[in-house]
Structure 1
Amino acid sequence: MLKLTSPSTIRYIMDKYGFRFSKSLGQNFLIDEGTVNRIVANAEVGPEDMVLEVGPGIGVMTQVLAAHAEKVVAVEIDSSLLPVLNETLDGLDNVEVVHGDILKIDVKALLNEHFGDRKPKVVANLPYYVTTPILMRFLEERLPVSEIVVMIQKEVAERMTASPSTKAYGSLSIAVQYYCEAAVVQKVPPTVFMPQPSVESLVIRLKLREKPCVELVNPDFFFKLVKAAFGQRRKTLLNALSAGLSMPKDKILTALEEVEILPNIRGEALSIEEFARLANAFEEI
């Protein structure tokens, strides 16, 4: 089997199939075996696990996943990589490649077709330009997966896993942590990619909750409230909410007093539990 982490092998594949890296698809292939092995290890993929891989590229991680998992389904958007994957994954009977855009296909139907009632792990080196839309689709649609272990841009990973009162903490932190427990599990330098990206990467692990971490009267209003609180970070919470929600300050003050939150703090100081209490208080009044 071809050693896919070798730059010479990648050049051979590019010449044989006339393949060229696509900037528009965010293609950066891993060329470090240790990095790939650590990602799979951090996902704790075992012989009884089903795995969904998004963006297999030339199959670098797919080969390792196949060696550990019961079954791997890899979704690839680039049709020019399909003949490459036919060669690099040849002989791996527990791997299926699906051609499609993970943001456009019926993912729930795909999961049901290939995994039945079993919940797969999602393990992937995601294209950086669509990281957030892909992850939020899995979370917001409550797609039946057990956990997600993905390599993404460092800045985005820090925002997803941030705690209150930190620079990275914002509406994305709340949105992700509402649905799952999020943690950084691995650092990845640009030097292990071909071509090298201009940013550093982190691997995050998202363990999906059986139910969201807070109870909400109106989830839509909760997220609208959070977005308003972070919309103008330099403003006090009272002023940010007044502007973002187009709501009279006296009504906002009533809700803040109800849950004992000071109006002159900033949104970044509130935990997800405090945002939930505040959103529910608005519904009550």
Structure 2
Amino acid sequence: MKKRIASPSVTKEILDKNGIRLKKSLGQNFLVDRNIIDQIISGARLSKDEHVIEIGPGIGSLTQRLAEEAEKVWAIELDDKLISILPETLNDYDNIKYIHADALEYDFEELLTDLNDKKVKVVANLPYYVTTPIIMRLLEERLDLDRVVVMVQKEVAERLVATPEDGKSYGSPSLTVQYYSEPNIETIVPRTVFMPRPKVDSAVISMDIRKEPPVEVEDEDLFFSVIKAAFQLRRKTIRNSLSKATNVNLDRDLVDEALEEVGIESRRRGEKLDIKKFATLSNTLFKLLN
């Protein structure tokens, strides 16, 4: 059996051997628990004919298991030192392609086009500092992905699956993620399974990419602008939020007319509206504006 990277002793051995000093700026916390790795793999629901994109493989603890479960792994790593040691650390595997790049700038569309009709999933232990930008990019660019399974801060995961009943956790990111995907928290991950230990717990969240959004909207830009405006001034009423937000620049009388038409009380807060109400409201505003 091949030596498992996901253990404190093997991780320390690799770090010491290669003189690697962890960079806090890149959110480098390496997973050293094989059970958590297996839970991520289980959540990904991989098969041997699928390709996987991994963002931030680190020293390869998750990469190793992905290579055993999928047809091919595309490992995207930004750190100069780590990208140089991965091929040696994982030299028993010939189905891993190493890409030295920043995932926030990398051309995923080109890679997916090259893969043609292959089923592709993203599976990753994301660096905390780029979690939300990467998730939003994967979803908003409407990449031809089947499923996204990532480990993120527990608080972030809770925000992405939140509904109006969840109070402060519910916000613009919740609605964006739920518009493009069906998110679900697979498991909570304690901070004790990382080296070095972060200050917060994590969670594995899966996102099944929707073929069609859960609501019909006339203008997506307006839809997301209305959502952003509602949560920018979340302590204010939906009436005040929409009429004062600079990103939408809506006349108050127009806002009042739209709210009355869709049956939303003007004193209600935006954080109390679900995705269907936001769609109805934005569609009504679109009609009144045009």
Instruction: Answer yes or no: same fold by TM over 0.5.
Output: yes
Contact 1:165-1:268 at 8 Å conserved across structures:
no
Question: Could you tell me how far apart the structure 1 residues matched to 2:16 and 2:197 are?
Answer: 19
- 1:175 maps to a residue whose letter is T
Q: Which runs of 5+ in 2 are unaligned?
A: none
Aligned to 2:70: 69
Q: Determine the C-alpha separation between the residues in 2 that align with 1:213 and 1:16.
A: 50
Count of paired positions: 284
Counterpart residue number, 1:98: 99
Q: 1:162 maps to which residue?
A: 162
Question: In 1, Cα distance between the equivalents of 2:266 and 2:55?
Answer: 43
CA shift at 1:43, angstroms? Answer: 1.0
Task: Note the residue ranges of structure 1 that are not aligned, 5 or more in a row.
Answer: none
Please point out which of 235, 242, 254 is paired with 2:257: 254
- Partner of 1:166: helix, strand, or coil? helix
The code of the aligned residue for 2:127 comes to: P
Q: Contact conserved, 2:55 with 2:126, CA < 8 A, in 1? A: yes
User: Whole-Å Cα distance in 2 between the matches of residues 111 and 89 of structure 1?
Assistant: 24
Is 1:241 paired with 2:242? yes
For residues 132-161 of structure 1, what are the alpha-carbon distances to aligned partners after superposition, in whole Å with 9 as ceiling and x for unaligned?
111111111111111100000111111111
- Per the alignment, residue 223 of structure 1 pairs with 224
Q: Which of 243, 246, 269 pairs up with 1:266? A: 269
78-87 or 37-46, which deviates more? 78-87
User: Which amino acid in the other structure matches residue 270 of structure 2?
Assistant: G
Q: Is the 8 A contact 1:166 1:268 kept in 2?
A: no
Tell me the amino acid that sits aligned with residue 286 of structure 2: E
TM-score by length of 2: 0.94
Report the counterpart of residue 39 of structure 2 in structure 1: 38
Is residue 146 of structure 2 the alignment partner of residue 146 of structure 1?
yes
2:129 equivalent to 1:126? no
2:25 alignment partner, SS class: coil
* Structure 1 contact 13–84 (Cα < 8 Å) conserved: no
Measure how far apart 1:97 and its partner are.
1.2
Structure-to-structure mapping, 1:207-218, within 5 angstroms: 207-218=208-219
Conserved 8 A contact 2:50-2:118: no
| Aligned residues with identical type, % of pairs | 49
Counterpart residue type for residue 124 of structure 2: A
Q: What is the aligned partner in structure 2 of residue 195 from structure 1?
A: 196
Question: 1:111 Cα deviation (Å)?
Answer: 2.5
* Mapped partners of 2:178, 2:268: distance in 1: 22
**Cα distance in 2, alignment partners of residues 171 and 214 from structure 1:** 16
- Assess if the C-alpha contact under 8 Å between 2:258 and 2:281 holds in 1: yes
Matched-pair contact (CA < 8 Å) for 1:2–1:88: no
* Distance of 2:43 and 2:249 partners within structure 1: 45
1:109 matched residue in structure 2? 110
Deviation at 1:208, TM superposition (A): 0.5
- Secondary structure of 2:87's aligned partner: helix
For the 8 Å contact 2:6–2:62, the answer to whether it is kept is: no
Q: Secondary structure at the match of 1:4?
A: coil
Deviations, residues 21-68 of structure 1 (Å, cap 9, x unaligned): 111111110000000011101111122221111111111011111111
The residue that corresponds to 1:25 in the other structure is: 26
SS in 2 for 1:165: helix
Moved more, 268-277 or 239-248: 239-248
